[in-house]
Amino acid sequence: MGIVIKNVHILGQEREKRTDVYITGDHIASIGKEPASFLKDEEIDGSHKFLMPGLINCHTHAYMTLMRNYADDLPFHEWLFGRILPMEDELTPEDAYWGTLLGMAEMIRSGTTAFVDMHMFPRMVVKACASSGMRALLTRGLVGSDRHDEGGKMRIEQALDEMEYGKSIGAPCMFGLGPHAIYTCGEDFLRYVTELAHEKGLLINMHLAETKKEFDDCLAEHGMTPVEYAASLGMTDGPAIFAHCVYLGENDFGILANPNVSVATNPASNMKLANGFAPVPRMLKEGIRVALGTDGAGSNNNLNLFTEMHLLTLAHKGNLCDSLVLSAEETVRIATKNGAAAIGREDLGSVEPGKTADLVLIDENAPSMIPNYNRMAAVAYSANGSEVSDVLIGGRIVMRDRQLMTIDEERVHYEVERVASRFRA
C-alpha cells in the first residue's frame, strides 16, 4: 500500500513550509522526495491540513466507556467500591467488547493511535484491536493476595493466554502485566507478578500513589511510600508504567528517574476524583519520563487526549501560579514522544522517514485553528479533537474525512445503549 499526503505542513517545522509525505506499507518512506518505485494507491490532499504524530494514551480502561456519566460527584472510595466495581461485576465479556470499541471510536476521532489498557475481560480488547486496527499495549488487570491465591493465578493465566490469542489472530497489540494497585494486591502477589514480568520480559502497568489514603496507609503498613514500596518489590527493575503518582515523598523522585520507568499522569481523573495534582513539572525537572493518560471514562469522563493536554498544562500553570511550566511544546511531547518511549516504541511519536506511520491530520479550516500563528499552541491550547480529519495507524487509514473506516459506529452505539439500558433500570 502506498499513500501520499500532498502539500501538507508538519507540526514543529517551519511555519510556511509544505511538503509531501510518502507512506509505504506501515512506515513513512520519505518526506519531500518521491521514493524510487513508489506505487500510489491513495492520495490525501493536505493543503489545508497539518500532520502530527498520533497521540498515545498511556493509561486507560477502554471498556469503561460503559460507565461514562454513571457515577459522578462522589468521593473516591465510594465511587470505586460503591458504584464502579459493583457495575463491573454485572458486565459480560460481550458488553466489554462493545464498550471497548466505543472507546476506540472516541480515541481515533480525537487523534489517538495507541493506548495502554488495563482491563478485566480477557481476549475482548484483543478482539476489538484486531477488528479496529488500533494499536494497544494490553494488560489484564490482576488482583490477588499471594502467589497461591487461586483467583490471582487464574487472572495471570488469562493474561498469558490472551498474549497467545493476540498472536494467533494477528492483533496489533503488545502485552504487559497489570497488577491493579498496591491496595488491591498483597505483597507476595506483587512480588510474584514482578518475577514473572522480569522472567518473560513484560512491562508492568500499575496504578500507584493515586490517593492520599493510599500514601498514608502504605506508610503506616510498610514504613515506605507507595513508590518506595513498589521499588522494594523490584517493580522498577524492568519496564514499568505507573499511573498517577500524585503523592510522592522526597526520595520518590530519584526512584522514578529511571529509564525503565514512566509515569502516566491523568490530570482530569485526578481532579474529578479530588485526588489533587501530580507534581508533573517537578518530575520533568528531575528527569522522570512523564506520559499522558485519560484514565477510564468512568472518571474523566472522556478519552480525548486533546482535552487532556489542555487540562494538563492549564492545571499545573494554575496550581503553581506559574505560566512558564509545561509549555505547549512540552505538553505535546508528553502526549506523543514520551508516550512512545513509555511503551517501548521509539518508532512512534514523531513524523520522520523510517518511522511507523501512526499519523493524524488536523484541519486548519476548523474555527478553533484560525488564525494560524503557532500550530503547537493550537494543538495544546485551542484544539478539542474535532479538528482531526484523518488518522493512520501503521500506514492504514482508519479515519478518512471524519469517517471511521474500521469501526461500524452505528452498531457500536446501538450495542452500548443496549448495555446501558440494563443499568438505567
Q: Which residues bind Ni ion (CB under 5 A)?
A: 295
Q: Toward Ni ion, which CB reaches closer, 8 or 261?
A: 261
Q: Toward Ni ion, which CB reaches closer, 295 or 364?
A: 295
**In which element (H, E) is residue 399 found?**
strand 396-400
Q: Toward Ni ion, which CB reaches closer, 265 or 331?
A: 265
Q: How far is the CB of 245 from Ni ion (least distance, A)?
A: 12
Q: Toward Ni ion, which CB reaches closer, 252 or 295?
A: 295
Q: How far is the CB of 67 from Ni ion (least distance, A)?
A: 12
| DSSP symbols for 224-257 | S-HHHHHHHTTTTSS-EEEEE--S--HHHHHHH-
Tell me whether the omega of the peptide bond preceding residue 301 falls within 30 degrees of 0, making it cis: yes
Which cell numbers in the block locate residue 26? 506501515
Q: How far is the CB of 207 from Ni ion (least distance, A)?
A: 5
Q: Toward Ni ion, which CB reaches closer, 295 or 387?
A: 295
Which residues does 328 contact at the CB level (< 8 Å), separation at least 6?
Answer: 313, 374, 376, 377, 379, 380, 381
| The residue type at 321 | C
Paired sense of beta strands 388-393 and 359-363, if any: antiparallel
Q: How far is the CB of 117 from Ni ion (least distance, A)?
A: 10
Angstrom distance (rounded) from CA 19 to CA 197: 44
Q: How far is the CB of 180 from Ni ion (least distance, A)?
A: 9
Residues in a beta bridge with 178: 141
Q: Toward Ni ion, which CB reaches closer, 214 or 387?
A: 214
Three-state DSSP class for residue 178: strand
Angstrom distance (rounded) from CA 282 to CA 247: 13
Q: How far is the CB of 99 from Ni ion (least distance, A)?
A: 15
* CA dihedral for 82, 178, 313, 349, sign (positive or negative): negative
Q: Toward Ni ion, which CB reaches closer, 149 or 295?
A: 295
Q: How far is the CB of 223 from Ni ion (least distance, A)?
A: 26
Let me know the angle formed at the C-alpha of 126 by 122 and 128, rounded to the nearest 5 degrees.
115
| The residue type at 131 | S
Q: Toward Ni ion, which CB reaches closer, 295 or 330?
A: 295
Question: Cα(first)–Cα(last) distance of the chain, in Å?
Answer: 48
Q: How far is the CB of 84 from Ni ion (least distance, A)?
A: 10
Q: Toward Ni ion, which CB reaches closer, 23 or 241?
A: 241
Residue closest to Ni ion (Cβ): 295
Q: 249, 231, 157, 244: which is closest to 194 by C-alpha?
A: 231
Angstrom distance (rounded) from CA 9 to CA 5: 10
Q: How far is the CB of 299 from Ni ion (least distance, A)?
A: 7
Helical H runs in 119-211?
A: 124-132, 150-168, 187-200
Q: Toward Ni ion, which CB reaches closer, 214 or 295?
A: 295
Q: How far is the CB of 63 from Ni ion (least distance, A)?
A: 12
Q: 378, 332, 303, 291: which is closest to 110 by C-alpha?
A: 303
| The residue type at 155 | R
